[in-house]
Chain A
Amino acid sequence: MWEYVTERADLITFQAVQHVSLVVQCVLLGSLIGVALAVLVYRNPTATALANGVSAVGLTIPAFALLGILLAPFGFGITPAVIAVTFYAALPVLRNAVVGLAGVDRATVESARGIGMTRAAALLRVELPLAWPVILAGIRVATQMVMGIAAIAAYVLGPGLGGFIFSGLSRLGGANALNSALTGTIAIVLLALVLDLLLVLVGRLTTPRGIRA
């Protein structure tokens, strides 16, 4: 196995970078979408219930099924991979952002409005910063989850470490098949840990002392 890895170090590194880059970009995009949707719905009980329903149901859709559906309009390639990964990334962020925003003390928001902040200013300077630790927890969950989903996305020829896993599994019994699958899997687990540590660090750096636990 070690031999397998050292021989293909360049390729593995390349695919790892591709994988992480896909995940990071999709998580960023998904977080923006999740937070934006949360901002739209969190004051309206009906819309909140709907959003929570969507995020619960959405997470039960098997990744393979979603990719299969996306293949029809977009064909093989990067587009369905990006859409699927972003979709799964957005859901936990949406759920947490709704919880976080709804959990901000109404009196605090009211006093923000009471001293003359506009709706947007109160949202940007008070509500979102106060909800941030909860949103960030959602982003961590999303990142962990889509590390695996990005591997499945490789099935539709998206980039990343999933290639090792699928090519390994399809040739199971053949030379290096197991090594290939293991390499992909272990690399994903390691990278997921690294990303999570980075997010913990981001949390440290971006959570004001006044609300740190």
Chain B
Amino acid sequence: MPETASAAAAGTAGDDRRISGVPIRLEGVTKRYPGQDRPAVDDVDLEIAAGETVMFVGPSGCGKTTLLKMLNRLIEPTSGRIHLGDEDVTDQDADQLRRRIGYVIQAGGLFPHMTVATNVGMVPRMLRWDKQRTAARIDELLELVGLDPAVYRDRYPRELSGGQQQRVGVARALAADPPVLLMDEPFGAVDPVTRQRLQDELLRIQEELGKTIVFVTHDFDEAVKLGDRIVVFDVGARVVQYDTPERILAEPAEDYVADFVGAGATLKQLTLTRVGDVDLVQVTTAVAGSPSAEAVAAAQAAGDDFVVVLDSRGRPISWPTVAELTRTTTVPHTVDERLPVVGLRSTLNDALDTMLAASQGGVVVTGRRDGLAGVMAVETVMAAIQRSRTETAG
């Protein structure tokens, strides 16, 4: 388990990440809508490095969506050039271009009359992949976004929850392995717990794939959590600050940014600190179906009063107390739907939210492939708050 934790930590540092994305460069990009005296996007220059996740934040109507849609030419720029990798794509065939750029919108934008598999396989079909390759790719992608292909392949979008639809939306965008992913407030329409799961999953996927992601959000915490860098825009898509989350929080470029970022530095610390950055508690584990007596003995030897039960693939499914386990002969296979789980890249803020939502004093932490990485207690969060308080004070 400690290995998983350090691997993820290396990912955070960005040392040896696989990068399949390409850089994006905007030069003097302007969009003027007919009948409006001020351009919605006014002469924007911006460079986005390959494999980075860049978050667009700014007030409503400042031009984030317009700028994003110019990247895949859903909106044609009035002037300026757009480069993808070392290609100037400003005048390329827009339909061809879009097949090389993943696009995810709120609620997934799925086609309601097509099954999950048809939705996900749309772009490969347009690119004329053969049937077998497409089918294999569909299953691979559903696995990647955490949906069991056998269960979900033939469902229709309305037979999925909001979070599942969003996952399918992400799978569809990734279908032809595009180097760039554009996301416009993709998680805006789901409940907070689901949103946090989706964010964790995006982080995990991004760690695996290293795409160049441009992500529009209204939620500054989301920007801090997901972004390698954040662009803070003002009206006309004026770039006010473009920097890492840490630096934007520590040194807002203008009062405007400080206002926008808002809230106290202490609580922001909870958003900046990842679960993987703090010490996790290692606890007794037991595989579902094994004899309860062994698990109970192990827990007692280690002085734990509960045991984390893992399924056959090492993923935590419940955490019964020793007392509860004593009443069983084999460790139960029951999946506890309310088990509070966060990922290593979740923030302490997420962890605290999850604990509060489940009314539990701790959370189970998962790492690679949803395997167990450890357990975090509420005291750890408290200690982090305390620490940053003293830091801010001193």
Residues of B close to A121: CB separation below 8 A: 126
Docked-complex contact A116 and B123, CB < 8 angstroms? yes
Q: Across the two chains, which residue of chain B brings its CB closest to A125?
A: B111
Interface string of A110-139 (1 = CB under 8 A from B): 111111111001000110011000000000
Residues of A close to B161: CB separation below 8 A: none
Q: Choose among A114, A126, A130 the residue that contacts B74 (Cβ–Cβ < 8 A).
A: A114
Docked-complex contact A208 and B114, CB < 8 angstroms? yes
A129 to B118, CA, bound (A): 14
Interface string of A20-44 (1 = CB under 8 A from B): 0000000000000000000000000
Tell me, rounded to whole Å, the shortest Cβ–Cβ distance linking A85 to chain B: 32
Residues of A close to B112: CB separation below 8 A: 108, 130, 210-211
A115 to B109, CA, bound (A): 10
Tell me, rounded to whole Å, the shortest Cβ–Cβ distance linking A95 to chain B: 22
Q: Is B107 an interface residue (CB 8 A)?
A: yes
Docked-complex contact B172 and A114, CB < 8 angstroms? no
Residues of A close to B159: CB separation below 8 A: 210
- Residues of B156-177 at the interface with A, using a CB-CB cut-off of 8 Å, are 156-159, 169, 172-173
Q: If A111-B105, A115-B103, A116-B123 touch, does A210 touch B113 (CB 8 Å cutoff)?
A: yes
A117 to B97, CA, bound (A): 11
Q: If A107-B106, A209-B156, A210-B157 touch, does A115 touch B123 (CB 8 Å cutoff)?
A: yes
Docked-complex contact B157 and A107, CB < 8 angstroms? no
Interface string of B82-106 (1 = CB under 8 A from A): 0000000000000111111011011
Q: By the criterion of a CB under 8 Å from any partner CB, how many residues of chain B are at the interface?
A: 31
Docked-complex contact A110 and B95, CB < 8 angstroms? no
Q: Choose among A116, A126, A130, A208 the residue that contacts B99 (Cβ–Cβ < 8 A).
A: A116
Q: Across the two chains, which residue of chain B brings its CB closest to A119?
A: B95
Q: Is B122 an interface residue (CB 8 A)?
A: yes
Q: Across the two chains, which residue of chain A brings its CB closest to B103?
A: A114
Docked-complex contact A115 and B98, CB < 8 angstroms? yes
Interface string of A176-213 (1 = CB under 8 A from B): 00000000000000000000000000000000111100
Docked-complex contact A130 and B95, CB < 8 angstroms? no
A204 to B100, CA, bound (A): 37
Please give me the 7 A-B residue pairs with the lowest Cβ-Cβ distance, nearest first.
A111-B109, A210-B156, A116-B99, A114-B103, A116-B98, A208-B113, A210-B113
Name 20 interchain pairs, CB-CB below 8 A, sorted by A. Answer: A107-B105, A107-B106, A107-B107, A108-B109, A108-B111, A108-B112, A110-B109, A111-B108, A111-B109, A114-B103, A114-B109, A116-B97, A117-B122, A130-B111, A208-B113, A208-B114, A210-B112, A210-B113, A210-B158, A211-B113
Inter-chain pairs besides A108-B112, A210-B115, A210-B156, 19 sampled, C-beta below 8 Å? A108-B109, A110-B105, A111-B103, A111-B109, A114-B98, A115-B98, A115-B102, A115-B126, A116-B96, A116-B98, A116-B99, A125-B111, A126-B113, A129-B113, A130-B111, A130-B113, A210-B112, A210-B158, A211-B113
